[in-house]
Amino acid sequence: MTKLIFEKSSEHRSACDFPFVKEKNSIPKSLLKESNTSLGLPELSELEIIRHYVHLASLNFNIEKGLYPLGSCTMKYNPRINEDMAGLSGFSNLHPYAPQDLVQGALKLMYEVEQWLCELTGMSAVTLQPAAGAQGEFTGLKLIRAYHLDKGLKKTKILIPDSAHGTNPASSTLCGYDVQKVPSNSIGLLDIEQVSKVLDDDVAALMMTNPNTLGLFEENIVAIAKLLHQKNALLYCDGANFNALMGQAKLAEMGVDVLQFNLHKTFSTPHGGGGPGAGPVGVTEKLKPYLPLPRVIKEKDFYKLETQSQKSIGRLKGFYGNFGVLVRAYTYMRAMGQEGLKKVSQMAVLNANYIKHRLKDAYDLPYNDRPCMHEVIFSDKKQLKHSIKTLDIAKRLMDFGFHPPTVYFPLIVSGALMIEPTETESKEEIDRFCDAMIAIAKECESNPQKVHEAPHTTPVRRVDEVKAARNLILTYQNPTTR
Ligand SMILES: *Cc1c(COP(=O)(O)O)cnc(C)c1O
Protein backbone atom coordinates (compact mmCIF):
# COMPACT_ATOMS: atom_id res chain seq x y z
CA MET A 1 0.00 0.00 0.00
CA THR A 2 1.32 3.43 -0.91
CA LYS A 3 1.87 5.59 2.16
CA LEU A 4 0.36 9.04 2.39
CA ILE A 5 2.80 11.91 2.11
CA PHE A 6 1.90 12.73 5.73
CA GLU A 7 3.06 9.30 6.83
CA LYS A 8 6.38 9.76 5.06
CA SER A 9 6.95 13.04 6.88
CA SER A 10 9.95 13.32 9.20
CA GLU A 11 10.32 16.23 11.58
CA HIS A 12 12.68 19.05 10.50
CA ARG A 13 13.31 17.56 7.10
CA SER A 14 12.77 20.07 4.31
CA ALA A 15 12.96 20.35 0.56
CA CYS A 16 14.90 23.56 0.47
CA ASP A 17 17.15 25.64 2.67
CA PHE A 18 16.66 29.34 2.47
CA PRO A 19 20.16 30.71 2.12
CA PHE A 20 18.80 34.16 2.64
CA VAL A 21 17.66 33.41 6.18
CA LYS A 22 21.25 33.89 7.30
CA GLU A 23 21.27 37.39 5.95
CA LYS A 24 20.11 40.47 7.77
CA ASN A 25 16.45 41.52 7.48
CA SER A 26 15.41 38.05 6.35
CA ILE A 27 12.73 35.74 7.72
CA PRO A 28 14.02 34.08 10.90
CA LYS A 29 14.48 30.34 10.37
CA SER A 30 12.66 29.53 13.61
CA LEU A 31 9.54 31.19 12.29
CA LEU A 32 9.56 29.10 9.13
CA LYS A 33 9.98 25.84 11.03
CA GLU A 34 7.34 26.70 13.54
CA SER A 35 4.71 27.65 11.01
CA ASN A 36 5.40 24.51 9.00
CA THR A 37 4.84 22.29 12.01
CA SER A 38 1.83 24.16 13.33
CA LEU A 39 0.15 23.92 9.94
CA GLY A 40 0.59 20.16 10.05
CA LEU A 41 2.28 20.09 6.65
CA PRO A 42 4.42 17.09 5.75
CA GLU A 43 8.19 17.55 6.04
CA LEU A 44 10.21 15.77 3.36
CA SER A 45 13.30 16.24 1.25
CA GLU A 46 12.96 17.30 -2.36
CA LEU A 47 13.87 13.83 -3.63
CA GLU A 48 11.30 12.19 -1.37
CA ILE A 49 8.61 14.53 -2.64
CA ILE A 50 9.50 13.89 -6.28
CA ARG A 51 9.59 10.10 -5.75
CA HIS A 52 6.25 10.24 -3.96
CA TYR A 53 4.45 12.03 -6.78
CA VAL A 54 6.18 10.21 -9.64
CA HIS A 55 5.15 6.96 -7.97
CA LEU A 56 1.53 8.12 -7.59
CA ALA A 57 1.47 9.25 -11.23
CA SER A 58 2.78 5.87 -12.34
CA LEU A 59 -0.15 4.12 -10.62
CA ASN A 60 -2.55 5.97 -12.85
CA PHE A 61 -3.27 5.40 -16.50
CA ASN A 62 -2.92 8.29 -18.94
CA ILE A 63 -2.75 8.96 -22.64
CA GLU A 64 1.06 9.16 -22.43
CA LYS A 65 1.09 5.51 -21.28
CA GLY A 66 -1.06 4.07 -24.01
CA LEU A 67 -4.30 4.00 -26.00
CA TYR A 68 -7.24 5.47 -24.10
CA PRO A 69 -10.19 4.52 -26.31
CA LEU A 70 -13.08 5.91 -24.22
CA GLY A 71 -15.94 6.26 -26.68
CA SER A 72 -17.67 9.65 -26.82
CA CYS A 73 -14.91 11.12 -24.64
CA THR A 74 -12.35 11.63 -27.44
CA MET A 75 -9.28 11.05 -25.30
CA LYS A 76 -6.74 12.19 -27.81
CA TYR A 77 -3.21 13.39 -27.36
CA ASN A 78 -2.86 17.07 -26.49
CA PRO A 79 0.30 18.41 -28.14
CA ARG A 80 2.77 19.98 -25.68
CA ILE A 81 2.93 23.16 -27.73
CA ASN A 82 -0.60 23.96 -26.48
CA GLU A 83 0.70 23.93 -22.92
CA ASP A 84 3.69 26.09 -23.83
CA MET A 85 1.45 28.73 -25.36
CA ALA A 86 -1.03 28.72 -22.45
CA GLY A 87 1.95 29.09 -20.10
CA LEU A 88 3.30 32.25 -21.77
CA SER A 89 3.36 34.87 -19.06
CA GLY A 90 1.51 37.32 -21.32
CA PHE A 91 -1.45 34.94 -21.10
CA SER A 92 -1.07 33.20 -17.77
CA ASN A 93 -0.48 36.39 -15.74
CA LEU A 94 -3.32 38.42 -17.23
CA HIS A 95 -5.83 39.89 -14.87
CA PRO A 96 -9.38 39.45 -16.15
CA TYR A 97 -10.16 43.07 -15.29
CA ALA A 98 -7.10 44.53 -17.04
CA PRO A 99 -7.98 47.55 -19.19
CA GLN A 100 -9.07 46.47 -22.66
CA ASP A 101 -6.37 48.39 -24.50
CA LEU A 102 -3.75 46.39 -22.58
CA VAL A 103 -5.21 42.98 -23.46
CA GLN A 104 -5.85 43.34 -27.18
CA GLY A 105 -3.99 40.08 -27.89
CA ALA A 106 -6.14 38.06 -25.53
CA LEU A 107 -9.36 39.57 -26.86
CA LYS A 108 -8.21 38.96 -30.43
CA LEU A 109 -7.48 35.33 -29.57
CA MET A 110 -10.99 34.83 -28.19
CA TYR A 111 -12.50 36.60 -31.18
CA GLU A 112 -10.58 34.37 -33.56
CA VAL A 113 -11.51 31.17 -31.72
CA GLU A 114 -15.14 32.20 -32.26
CA GLN A 115 -14.44 32.88 -35.94
CA TRP A 116 -12.86 29.45 -36.39
CA LEU A 117 -15.79 27.70 -34.73
CA CYS A 118 -18.26 29.66 -36.90
CA GLU A 119 -16.31 28.81 -40.03
CA LEU A 120 -16.21 25.09 -39.19
CA THR A 121 -19.94 24.83 -38.53
CA GLY A 122 -21.62 27.64 -40.45
CA MET A 123 -23.05 29.08 -37.23
CA SER A 124 -23.37 32.90 -37.03
CA ALA A 125 -21.94 33.54 -33.57
CA VAL A 126 -20.41 31.70 -30.65
CA THR A 127 -20.13 32.26 -26.91
CA LEU A 128 -16.99 30.92 -25.27
CA GLN A 129 -18.26 31.18 -21.69
CA PRO A 130 -19.50 27.70 -20.75
CA ALA A 131 -16.94 25.65 -18.83
CA ALA A 132 -17.98 22.22 -20.12
CA GLY A 133 -20.21 20.43 -22.57
CA ALA A 134 -23.01 20.07 -20.05
CA GLN A 135 -22.90 23.78 -19.21
CA GLY A 136 -22.96 24.46 -22.94
CA GLU A 137 -26.15 22.39 -23.20
CA PHE A 138 -27.66 24.37 -20.35
CA THR A 139 -26.66 27.63 -22.06
CA GLY A 140 -28.12 26.46 -25.38
CA LEU A 141 -31.42 25.57 -23.77
CA LYS A 142 -31.54 28.93 -21.97
CA LEU A 143 -31.07 30.58 -25.37
CA ILE A 144 -33.91 28.53 -26.84
CA ARG A 145 -36.16 29.46 -23.93
CA ALA A 146 -35.32 33.18 -24.31
CA TYR A 147 -36.02 33.00 -28.05
CA HIS A 148 -39.45 31.44 -27.59
CA LEU A 149 -40.47 33.72 -24.72
CA ASP A 150 -39.45 36.71 -26.80
CA LYS A 151 -41.79 35.50 -29.54
CA GLY A 152 -44.57 35.02 -27.02
CA LEU A 153 -44.44 31.24 -27.36
CA LYS A 154 -44.84 29.07 -24.28
CA LYS A 155 -43.01 25.81 -24.89
CA THR A 156 -42.53 23.15 -22.25
CA LYS A 157 -40.96 20.08 -23.83
CA ILE A 158 -37.63 18.89 -25.17
CA LEU A 159 -37.43 15.76 -27.34
CA ILE A 160 -34.38 13.58 -26.71
CA PRO A 161 -33.44 10.36 -28.54
CA ASP A 162 -33.00 7.25 -26.39
CA SER A 163 -29.35 7.06 -27.48
CA ALA A 164 -28.50 10.47 -25.97
CA HIS A 165 -25.80 11.25 -23.44
CA GLY A 166 -27.21 11.51 -19.90
CA THR A 167 -26.35 15.20 -19.72
CA ASN A 168 -29.02 16.02 -22.34
CA PRO A 169 -32.07 15.15 -20.22
CA ALA A 170 -30.31 16.51 -17.12
CA SER A 171 -29.68 19.91 -18.74
CA SER A 172 -33.27 20.06 -20.04
CA THR A 173 -34.71 19.32 -16.61
CA LEU A 174 -32.39 21.85 -14.98
CA CYS A 175 -33.71 24.40 -17.46
CA GLY A 176 -37.29 23.67 -16.43
CA TYR A 177 -38.37 21.62 -19.44
CA ASP A 178 -40.16 18.27 -19.51
CA VAL A 179 -38.24 15.59 -21.37
CA GLN A 180 -39.80 13.25 -23.90
CA LYS A 181 -37.78 10.29 -25.11
CA VAL A 182 -37.78 9.41 -28.81
CA PRO A 183 -36.88 5.81 -29.69
CA SER A 184 -34.18 5.08 -32.29
CA ASN A 185 -35.16 2.81 -35.16
CA SER A 186 -33.81 -0.66 -35.96
CA ILE A 187 -30.70 0.73 -37.65
CA GLY A 188 -29.88 2.99 -34.71
CA LEU A 189 -31.07 6.27 -36.21
CA LEU A 190 -33.70 8.86 -35.38
CA ASP A 191 -36.76 8.22 -37.45
CA ILE A 192 -38.76 10.98 -39.16
CA GLU A 193 -42.02 9.21 -38.36
CA GLN A 194 -41.17 8.73 -34.69
CA VAL A 195 -40.32 12.41 -34.37
CA SER A 196 -43.49 13.62 -36.08
CA LYS A 197 -45.54 11.36 -33.81
CA VAL A 198 -44.41 13.23 -30.69
CA LEU A 199 -43.95 16.67 -32.19
CA ASP A 200 -46.59 19.15 -31.01
CA ASP A 201 -46.81 22.87 -30.24
CA ASP A 202 -45.34 22.35 -26.76
CA VAL A 203 -42.01 21.15 -28.13
CA ALA A 204 -39.27 23.77 -27.77
CA ALA A 205 -36.49 21.73 -29.33
CA LEU A 206 -35.08 18.35 -30.15
CA MET A 207 -31.59 17.58 -28.87
CA MET A 208 -29.70 15.49 -31.38
CA THR A 209 -26.15 14.19 -31.09
CA ASN A 210 -24.64 13.87 -34.53
CA PRO A 211 -22.92 11.53 -35.08
CA ASN A 212 -25.02 9.87 -32.41
CA THR A 213 -23.69 7.81 -29.53
CA LEU A 214 -23.87 4.65 -31.63
CA GLY A 215 -21.20 6.27 -33.78
CA LEU A 216 -23.68 6.63 -36.65
CA PHE A 217 -24.49 9.68 -38.73
CA GLU A 218 -28.08 10.86 -38.26
CA GLU A 219 -29.06 10.72 -41.90
CA ASN A 220 -32.51 12.22 -41.42
CA ILE A 221 -31.21 15.41 -39.87
CA VAL A 222 -32.33 17.76 -42.65
CA ALA A 223 -35.89 16.39 -42.77
CA ILE A 224 -36.15 16.41 -38.97
CA ALA A 225 -34.95 20.03 -38.82
CA LYS A 226 -37.65 20.97 -41.33
CA LEU A 227 -40.35 19.25 -39.30
CA LEU A 228 -39.24 21.05 -36.14
CA HIS A 229 -39.08 24.45 -37.80
CA GLN A 230 -42.63 24.05 -39.09
CA LYS A 231 -43.73 23.89 -35.45
CA ASN A 232 -41.53 26.80 -34.33
CA ALA A 233 -39.34 24.28 -32.56
CA LEU A 234 -35.54 24.37 -32.82
CA LEU A 235 -32.87 21.79 -33.49
CA TYR A 236 -30.19 21.59 -30.83
CA CYS A 237 -27.08 19.60 -31.73
CA ASP A 238 -24.87 18.13 -29.02
CA GLY A 239 -21.56 18.63 -30.80
CA ALA A 240 -19.40 16.62 -28.41
CA ASN A 241 -18.79 14.17 -31.25
CA PHE A 242 -17.58 16.88 -33.63
CA ASN A 243 -14.28 15.02 -34.09
CA ALA A 244 -16.06 13.01 -36.80
CA LEU A 245 -17.44 15.95 -38.79
CA MET A 246 -14.87 18.69 -38.42
CA GLY A 247 -14.07 20.25 -41.77
CA GLN A 248 -16.33 17.80 -43.65
CA ALA A 249 -19.82 19.27 -43.36
CA LYS A 250 -21.40 22.31 -41.74
CA LEU A 251 -24.08 21.57 -39.19
CA ALA A 252 -25.83 24.94 -39.66
CA GLU A 253 -26.46 23.99 -43.28
CA MET A 254 -28.24 20.84 -42.09
CA GLY A 255 -30.70 22.95 -40.10
CA VAL A 256 -29.05 23.04 -36.66
CA ASP A 257 -29.99 26.19 -34.70
CA VAL A 258 -27.87 25.74 -31.57
CA LEU A 259 -24.72 23.68 -31.15
CA GLN A 260 -22.27 23.13 -28.32
CA PHE A 261 -18.65 22.21 -28.86
CA ASN A 262 -16.42 20.40 -26.41
CA LEU A 263 -13.03 22.04 -26.86
CA HIS A 264 -11.67 19.48 -24.39
CA LYS A 265 -12.64 16.71 -26.77
CA THR A 266 -12.28 17.90 -30.35
CA PHE A 267 -9.81 20.75 -29.94
CA SER A 268 -7.17 18.92 -28.02
CA THR A 269 -7.25 20.53 -24.61
CA PRO A 270 -6.95 18.51 -21.41
CA HIS A 271 -9.96 16.88 -19.83
CA GLY A 272 -10.80 14.36 -17.22
CA GLY A 273 -10.92 14.46 -13.47
CA GLY A 274 -13.43 17.31 -13.53
CA GLY A 275 -10.77 19.78 -14.60
CA PRO A 276 -11.49 22.96 -16.52
CA GLY A 277 -12.86 22.50 -20.00
CA ALA A 278 -14.74 24.68 -22.44
CA GLY A 279 -18.13 24.11 -24.03
CA PRO A 280 -18.65 27.03 -26.44
CA VAL A 281 -22.13 27.39 -27.93
CA GLY A 282 -22.77 28.40 -31.53
CA VAL A 283 -26.07 29.84 -32.75
CA THR A 284 -27.68 30.94 -35.98
CA GLU A 285 -28.57 34.57 -36.64
CA LYS A 286 -32.00 34.44 -35.02
CA LEU A 287 -30.59 33.41 -31.62
CA LYS A 288 -27.67 35.83 -31.60
CA PRO A 289 -29.40 38.58 -29.55
CA TYR A 290 -29.77 36.22 -26.58
CA LEU A 291 -26.12 35.18 -26.25
CA PRO A 292 -24.51 35.55 -22.81
CA LEU A 293 -22.51 38.66 -21.92
CA PRO A 294 -19.83 39.84 -22.08
CA ARG A 295 -19.10 39.23 -25.75
CA VAL A 296 -15.93 40.08 -27.65
CA ILE A 297 -16.65 42.43 -30.53
CA LYS A 298 -14.39 44.06 -33.07
CA GLU A 299 -14.65 47.72 -33.99
CA LYS A 300 -12.25 48.70 -36.76
CA ASP A 301 -9.04 47.15 -35.41
CA PHE A 302 -9.97 47.39 -31.75
CA TYR A 303 -11.31 44.41 -29.79
CA LYS A 304 -13.61 45.11 -26.89
CA LEU A 305 -16.04 43.47 -24.54
CA GLU A 306 -19.68 44.23 -25.04
CA THR A 307 -21.35 44.20 -21.64
CA GLN A 308 -24.83 45.53 -22.43
CA SER A 309 -27.54 43.97 -24.53
CA GLN A 310 -31.29 44.08 -24.09
CA LYS A 311 -32.09 40.45 -24.76
CA SER A 312 -29.04 38.59 -23.46
CA ILE A 313 -29.61 35.69 -21.09
CA GLY A 314 -26.83 37.23 -18.94
CA ARG A 315 -23.67 35.70 -17.60
CA LEU A 316 -23.00 31.97 -17.31
CA LYS A 317 -19.53 31.89 -15.84
CA GLY A 318 -17.09 34.18 -14.05
CA PHE A 319 -15.09 36.49 -16.31
CA TYR A 320 -14.84 35.15 -19.88
CA GLY A 321 -14.83 31.39 -19.50
CA ASN A 322 -11.78 29.19 -19.01
CA PHE A 323 -9.34 31.37 -20.90
CA GLY A 324 -6.37 28.98 -20.61
CA VAL A 325 -8.37 26.30 -22.39
CA LEU A 326 -9.17 28.75 -25.18
CA VAL A 327 -5.45 29.48 -25.66
CA ARG A 328 -4.78 25.76 -25.99
CA ALA A 329 -7.60 25.29 -28.50
CA TYR A 330 -6.46 28.31 -30.49
CA THR A 331 -2.92 26.95 -30.65
CA TYR A 332 -4.26 23.62 -31.86
CA MET A 333 -6.40 25.23 -34.58
CA ARG A 334 -3.55 27.42 -35.79
CA ALA A 335 -1.05 24.57 -35.71
CA MET A 336 -3.35 22.25 -37.68
CA GLY A 337 -4.77 24.79 -40.11
CA GLN A 338 -8.05 24.20 -41.96
CA GLU A 339 -6.60 21.34 -43.98
CA GLY A 340 -5.15 19.73 -40.88
CA LEU A 341 -8.47 19.82 -39.05
CA LYS A 342 -10.13 18.20 -42.03
CA LYS A 343 -7.56 15.43 -41.96
CA VAL A 344 -8.23 14.91 -38.24
CA SER A 345 -11.82 13.87 -38.81
CA GLN A 346 -10.91 11.73 -41.82
CA MET A 347 -8.30 9.83 -39.81
CA ALA A 348 -10.55 9.54 -36.74
CA VAL A 349 -13.28 7.92 -38.86
CA LEU A 350 -10.82 5.71 -40.73
CA ASN A 351 -9.28 4.45 -37.48
CA ALA A 352 -12.67 3.56 -35.99
CA ASN A 353 -13.72 1.71 -39.14
CA TYR A 354 -10.44 -0.17 -39.16
CA ILE A 355 -11.11 -1.39 -35.61
CA LYS A 356 -14.66 -2.31 -36.56
CA HIS A 357 -13.34 -4.38 -39.43
CA ARG A 358 -10.67 -6.12 -37.36
CA LEU A 359 -12.94 -6.99 -34.42
CA LYS A 360 -16.25 -7.74 -36.08
CA ASP A 361 -15.71 -11.50 -36.10
CA ALA A 362 -14.60 -11.65 -32.48
CA TYR A 363 -17.31 -9.37 -31.05
CA ASP A 364 -20.98 -8.76 -31.74
CA LEU A 365 -21.86 -5.62 -33.71
CA PRO A 366 -25.35 -4.69 -32.47
CA TYR A 367 -26.24 -2.26 -35.23
CA ASN A 368 -25.42 -4.26 -38.32
CA ASP A 369 -22.35 -3.84 -40.32
CA ARG A 370 -22.73 -0.24 -41.46
CA PRO A 371 -19.82 2.16 -41.78
CA CYS A 372 -19.32 3.98 -38.49
CA MET A 373 -18.08 7.47 -37.82
CA HIS A 374 -15.43 8.22 -35.17
CA GLU A 375 -16.39 5.40 -32.81
CA VAL A 376 -17.61 1.83 -33.00
CA ILE A 377 -19.94 0.00 -30.63
CA PHE A 378 -19.69 -3.71 -29.88
CA SER A 379 -21.55 -5.79 -27.34
CA ASP A 380 -20.68 -8.75 -25.11
CA LYS A 381 -23.32 -10.99 -26.72
CA LYS A 382 -20.83 -13.57 -28.04
CA GLN A 383 -18.87 -13.71 -24.76
CA LEU A 384 -21.99 -14.06 -22.59
CA LYS A 385 -22.12 -17.71 -23.69
CA HIS A 386 -19.01 -18.21 -21.57
CA SER A 387 -20.45 -16.08 -18.75
CA ILE A 388 -18.08 -13.24 -19.57
CA LYS A 389 -19.52 -9.76 -19.46
CA THR A 390 -18.42 -6.39 -20.82
CA LEU A 391 -16.97 -5.43 -17.44
CA ASP A 392 -14.71 -8.52 -17.45
CA ILE A 393 -13.43 -7.70 -20.94
CA ALA A 394 -12.76 -4.11 -19.91
CA LYS A 395 -10.85 -5.21 -16.81
CA ARG A 396 -8.79 -7.76 -18.75
CA LEU A 397 -7.75 -5.08 -21.26
CA MET A 398 -5.94 -3.29 -18.43
CA ASP A 399 -3.57 -6.26 -18.14
CA PHE A 400 -2.62 -5.67 -21.77
CA GLY A 401 -1.72 -2.04 -21.00
CA PHE A 402 -4.79 -0.32 -22.41
CA HIS A 403 -7.40 1.87 -20.83
CA PRO A 404 -10.78 0.17 -21.22
CA PRO A 405 -13.28 1.65 -23.66
CA THR A 406 -16.53 3.24 -22.47
CA VAL A 407 -18.75 0.45 -21.16
CA TYR A 408 -22.50 -0.01 -20.81
CA PHE A 409 -23.18 3.15 -22.83
CA PRO A 410 -25.20 3.92 -24.90
CA LEU A 411 -27.90 2.39 -22.76
CA ILE A 412 -29.82 1.04 -25.75
CA VAL A 413 -27.07 -1.52 -26.37
CA SER A 414 -26.98 -4.24 -23.76
CA GLY A 415 -23.38 -4.76 -22.58
CA ALA A 416 -22.01 -2.04 -24.85
CA LEU A 417 -18.28 -1.57 -25.51
CA MET A 418 -17.85 1.84 -27.11
CA ILE A 419 -14.46 2.28 -28.74
CA GLU A 420 -13.08 5.60 -30.01
CA PRO A 421 -9.43 5.40 -31.06
CA THR A 422 -9.10 9.03 -32.28
CA GLU A 423 -6.78 10.18 -35.05
CA THR A 424 -3.74 10.54 -32.80
CA GLU A 425 -3.02 6.80 -32.63
CA SER A 426 -0.71 5.05 -35.08
CA LYS A 427 -1.72 1.95 -37.00
CA GLU A 428 0.79 -0.06 -34.92
CA GLU A 429 -0.85 0.98 -31.64
CA ILE A 430 -4.33 0.30 -33.00
CA ASP A 431 -3.19 -3.13 -34.18
CA ARG A 432 -1.76 -3.88 -30.74
CA PHE A 433 -5.13 -2.97 -29.26
CA CYS A 434 -7.04 -5.15 -31.74
CA ASP A 435 -4.65 -8.05 -31.10
CA ALA A 436 -5.35 -7.71 -27.38
CA MET A 437 -9.12 -7.63 -27.93
CA ILE A 438 -8.92 -10.75 -30.12
CA ALA A 439 -6.69 -12.52 -27.57
CA ILE A 440 -9.26 -11.74 -24.87
CA ALA A 441 -12.11 -13.08 -27.03
CA LYS A 442 -10.14 -16.34 -27.39
CA GLU A 443 -9.43 -16.43 -23.67
CA CYS A 444 -13.16 -16.16 -22.99
CA GLU A 445 -13.42 -19.62 -24.57
CA SER A 446 -10.19 -21.21 -23.35
CA ASN A 447 -9.81 -19.71 -19.89
CA PRO A 448 -12.88 -17.68 -18.88
CA GLN A 449 -11.83 -17.74 -15.23
CA LYS A 450 -8.74 -15.69 -16.05
CA VAL A 451 -10.86 -13.01 -17.73
CA HIS A 452 -13.36 -13.10 -14.93
CA GLU A 453 -10.69 -12.46 -12.31
CA ALA A 454 -8.91 -9.70 -14.24
CA PRO A 455 -7.13 -7.37 -13.81
CA HIS A 456 -4.11 -9.31 -12.62
CA THR A 457 -1.33 -6.76 -13.06
CA THR A 458 -2.74 -3.42 -11.87
CA PRO A 459 -1.91 -1.80 -8.48
CA VAL A 460 -5.56 -2.15 -7.47
CA ARG A 461 -7.50 -5.25 -8.51
CA ARG A 462 -11.27 -5.32 -8.81
CA VAL A 463 -13.04 -2.91 -6.53
CA ASP A 464 -16.62 -3.17 -5.36
CA GLU A 465 -17.91 -0.37 -7.55
CA VAL A 466 -21.27 -0.02 -5.82
CA LYS A 467 -19.66 0.20 -2.41
CA ALA A 468 -17.01 2.58 -3.74
CA ALA A 469 -19.72 4.96 -4.94
CA ARG A 470 -22.00 4.66 -1.93
CA ASN A 471 -19.46 4.70 0.91
CA LEU A 472 -17.01 7.23 -0.34
CA ILE A 473 -13.94 7.49 1.92
CA LEU A 474 -11.35 9.71 0.35
CA THR A 475 -8.46 8.80 2.66
CA TYR A 476 -7.99 5.50 4.40
CA GLN A 477 -6.77 7.30 7.47
CA ASN A 478 -7.34 10.77 8.85
CA PRO A 479 -3.91 12.48 8.71
CA THR A 480 -4.78 15.03 11.40
CA THR A 481 -5.48 12.43 14.09
CA ARG A 482 -2.28 10.56 13.47
C1 LIG B 1 -18.83 14.41 -23.15
C2 LIG B 1 -20.19 14.59 -23.64
C3 LIG B 1 -21.05 15.52 -23.03
C4 LIG B 1 -20.71 16.29 -21.77
O5 LIG B 1 -19.58 17.09 -21.84
P6 LIG B 1 -18.85 17.56 -20.50
O7 LIG B 1 -17.80 18.50 -20.94
O8 LIG B 1 -18.31 16.32 -19.85
O9 LIG B 1 -19.87 18.23 -19.62
C10 LIG B 1 -22.30 15.68 -23.58
N11 LIG B 1 -22.70 14.96 -24.65
C12 LIG B 1 -21.91 14.06 -25.25
C13 LIG B 1 -22.41 13.28 -26.43
C14 LIG B 1 -20.63 13.83 -24.75
O15 LIG B 1 -19.85 12.91 -25.33
> Residue 86 pLDDT > 50, yes or no?
yes
Residue-wise pLDDT tens digits, 409-444: 999 999 999 999 999 999 999 999 999 999 999 999
Domain for residue 68, yes or no? no
Handedness of CA 232, 162, 133, 117 (dihedral sign): negative
Residue type, position 200, single letter: D
Q: What is the mean pLDDT of the chain?
A: 92
Q: Are both 126 and 53 inside the same structural domain?
A: no
Distance, CA 150 to ligand 1 centroid (Å)?
29
d(CA 435, CA 393): 13
Q: Who has greater pLDDT, 106 or 274?
A: 106
Q: In the structure, what pLDDT confidence band is assigned to residue 21 with cuts at 50, 70 and 90?
A: low
Q: Are both 13 and 45 inside the same structural domain?
A: yes
Residue-wise pLDDT tens digits, 25-43: 666 666 655 545 567 889 9
CA-proximal residue: ligand 1, atom 8 (nearest): 133
248-262, 369-383, 393-407, 459-473: segment of lowest average pLDDT: 459-473
Mean pLDDT of 88-107: 95
Domain for residue 19, yes or no? yes
Q: In the structure, what pLDDT confidence band is assigned to residue 482 with cuts at 50, 70 and 90?
A: very low
Radius of gyration in angstroms for the set of CA atoms belonging to the chain, rounded to a whole number? 25
| Predicted local confidence at residue 28, as pLDDT | 64
The share of the chain scoring above pLDDT 90, in percent, equals 82
CB distance 240 to ligand 1 below 6 Å: yes
Q: Are both 345 and 297 inside the same structural domain?
A: no
Q: Please choose from 139, 162, 238, 325 the residue to mutate so as to test ligand 1's pocket, defined by most ligand atoms within 8 A of CB.
A: 238
Q: Are both 193 and 330 inside the same structural domain?
A: yes
Residue type, position 159, single letter: L
- CATH value at residue 90: 3.40.640.10
- Give the domain-ending residue among 292, 316, 335: 335
- Give the domain-ending residue among 335, 369, 392: 335
d(CA 268, CA 271): 9
Domain for residue 101, yes or no? yes
CB distance 383 to ligand 1 below 6 Å: no
Q: Are both 138 and 271 inside the same structural domain?
A: yes
Q: Are both 55 and 93 inside the same structural domain?
A: no
394 Cβ partners below 8 Å, 6+ apart? Answer: 404, 405, 407, 417
Q: Please choose from 75, 262, 267, 418 the residue to mutate so as to test ligand 1's pocket, defined by most ligand atoms within 8 A of CB.
A: 262
Q: Are both 350 and 323 inside the same structural domain?
A: no
- Which residue segment(s) compose the domain that 393 sits in? 340-468
CB distance 418 to ligand 1 below 6 Å: no
Q: Are both 173 and 285 inside the same structural domain?
A: yes
Q: In the structure, what pLDDT confidence band is assigned to residue 3 with cuts at 50, 70 and 90?
A: confident
Contact yes or no for 366/408 (Cβ under 8 A): no
Cα→Cα distances 358→187, 249, 352, 418, 432, Å: 21, 28, 10, 15, 11
Domain for residue 74, yes or no? no
CB distance 296 to ligand 1 below 6 Å: no
427-446 and 390-399 are packed helices; what angle lies between their axes, rounded to 10 degrees?
A: 120
Domain for residue 479, yes or no? no
CB distance 134 to ligand 1 below 6 Å: yes
> Residue 120 pLDDT > 90, yes or no?
yes
| Predicted local confidence at residue 350, as pLDDT | 98
> Residue 127 pLDDT > 80, yes or no?
yes
CB distance 375 to ligand 1 below 6 Å: no
Domain for residue 474, yes or no? no
Mean pLDDT of 116-124: 98
Q: How far is CA 308 from the centre of its chain?
A: 31
Q: How many domains does the chain have?
A: 3
Q: Who has greater pLDDT, 36 or 102?
A: 102
Domain for residue 66, yes or no? no
Q: Are both 191 and 134 inside the same structural domain?
A: yes
Q: Are both 319 and 351 inside the same structural domain?
A: no
Distance, CA 167 to ligand 1 centroid (Å)?
7
Task: Cis check for the bond before 294: say yes or no (omega within 30 of 0).
Answer: yes
* φ, ψ (nearest 5 deg) of residue 419: -110, 125
Atom of ligand 1 nearest to the CA of 136: 9
d(CA 147, CA 232): 10
106 Cβ partners below 8 Å, 6+ apart? Answer: 91, 94, 323
CB distance 243 to ligand 1 below 6 Å: no
- Give the domain-ending residue among 271, 301, 335: 335
Report the 10 Å Cβ neighbour count for 94.
15
d(CA 463, CA 448): 19
Q: Are both 178 and 314 inside the same structural domain?
A: yes
Domain for residue 67, yes or no? no
Q: Are both 160 and 309 inside the same structural domain?
A: yes
| Predicted local confidence at residue 33, as pLDDT | 53
Distance, CA 310 to ligand 1 centroid (Å)?
31
CB distance 374 to ligand 1 below 6 Å: no
pTM (2 decimals)? 0.91
- CATH value at residue 430: 3.90.1150.10
Query: 282 forms bridges with which residues in the sheet?
Result: 126, 259
Residue-wise pLDDT tens digits, 193-235: 999 999 999 999 999 999 999 999 999 999 999 999 999 999 9
